[in-house]
Amino acid sequence: MSSQGKIAIIGSGHVGSHCAMALAAGTVSSEIVLIDKNEAKAHSQALDVSDALSFLPSTPRVRAGSYADCADADIVVVAIGEPRLPGQTRLDLLENSIKMLHELLGVLKPLDLSGPVITITNPADIVADYARRGLALPRSKVFGTGTLLDSARLIRILSEETALSRADIGALAMGEHGDSSMIPFSQISLGGRPFEAFPNLDRSRLLERTRQSGMEVINGKGSTEFGIGQALAVLCRSILQDEKRVLPLSVLLEGEYGQSGVHCGVPCLVGRNGIEEVIELALSPEETAELSRSCDIIRKHIAKAQEIAPSDALGVGNEQA
């Protein structure tokens, strides 16, 4: 892996291209490679991002490439798939996403990837699990953005409702990146005060607003892109600069929170080696039950993914589950 950082992004649509722009504008890495089945599209997106850098003080190299570029990349980002349509849940994208991912993993697995693999494709938790199994890599190396974007939306909403600066709000969403996500209100800090210090805040309303934020954007403009771009940039910077940040990501649980064999959004310590530790928060009994219900939904769809395209077709046995 290079010392300056090479990031390969597979998928050059709305999400992949905006991730590239966020990474380039923030000078997160010295090289960004866009990869797509439509080579002309990847080339054009790379040119467009590269043109924008002429107005910035730093100019990382942005180019189109091939799957071979993933072999020595410091980070590989999987951003393939179809965008959600108005009225669709992320789980509605399962079948097409798994079929595309199965094909992609067949190409990536022989490359002996050296860096972490971050999945963005929806449904996020099921895709992260499927990619980890298919690549036969440990949980530290294959994970999804999970509830990182959900948490950003929650912080925005809390700032709107309290008039506090976002910098003074500590909050996160956990569980599925989807309609069963939950908020551990016991862990929220608002200007150094607990959630209960703000009696006008309604828990049900906050949870519903957080869950529906993505669809609100889709209904208005057809896709989400800027938020996930910045979320990915923060995550990649934490890896490449070994920042040891705690971020809510979709990682395989191995007993944490009483859950095993399932990916879901939980706070993780992130550094150069990817996921370095899963942080266990002291959730209330009610919050633990909510997280468990979300994990049950994810677990059911992980099983469906295996029915669509079994991971053992890639030569992965049950020991990778």
Residue keyed to tokens 């997106």: 45
Q: Is 263 helix (H, G, I), strand (E, B) or coil?
A: strand
DSSP bridge pairs for 189: 170, 194
Report the C-alpha gap between 64 and 16 in whole angstroms: 12
Sign of the torsion angle spanned by Cα atoms 37, 311, 180, 248: negative
Q: Taking Cα atoms as reference points, which of 302, 213, 182, 178 lies closest to residue 252? A: 302
Q: Following CA atoms 144, 307, 312, 261 in sequence, which dihedral angle do they give, to the nearest 10 degrees? A: 50
Report the C-alpha gap between 79 and 71 in whole angstroms: 17
Indicate which residue of 14, 18, 102, 177 is catalytic.
177
Q: In what order do the strands lie in the sheet with 142-144?
A: 61-64, 31-35, 6-10, 75-78, 117-119, 142-144, 245-254, 260-271, 274-278
Q: Determine whether 177 is an active site residue.
A: yes
Run of H or E including 33? strand 31-35
Catalytic center residues: 177
